[in-house]
Structure 1
């Protein structure tokens, strides 16, 4: 399956994606997104990690207001 970067605070999303067979890496800094097909951020500290910069070559999903299931659906629709 896909390699997905997920912000550390989104543990429920990380687990839901793992349950669906995806490889999940925690995003601690922008370089952690290298090789990811999609990244999920909490939206609380939007753009603190620079995830909206054009240097990131993957889709970025803002998980604020979404359930873990809704995030999974968005991830799978973008990969």
Structure 2
């Protein structure tokens, strides 16, 4: 099953993804995102200066305003 990186504060998303059989790792620091198939972030730490450095080629899902089920569906869609 795919390895999904999830920000620490999204415990409900972590639980829902694990229930679906995904291997979930917490994204505690940027380097944690290097070896995952998909990342789920809160979107609260948006880049104010507009600068971006890509640390992963995996799809990144911003979970702001989404339920855990919606995030799971989005993960499934992105991994197909």
The TM-score, its normalising length taken from structure 1, stands at: 0.89
Unaligned runs of 5+ in 1: none
Give secondary structure in 2 for the equivalent of 1:70: helix
Stretches of structure 2 that go unaligned for 5 or more consecutive residues are: none
Task: Give 1:47 shift.
Answer: 4.2
| Cross-structure match for 1:53 | 53
Runs of 4+ aligned structure 1 residues displaced above 6 Å come to none
Which residue does the alignment assign to 1:6?
6
In the other structure, the counterpart of 1:28 is 28
- Report the number of matched residues: 76
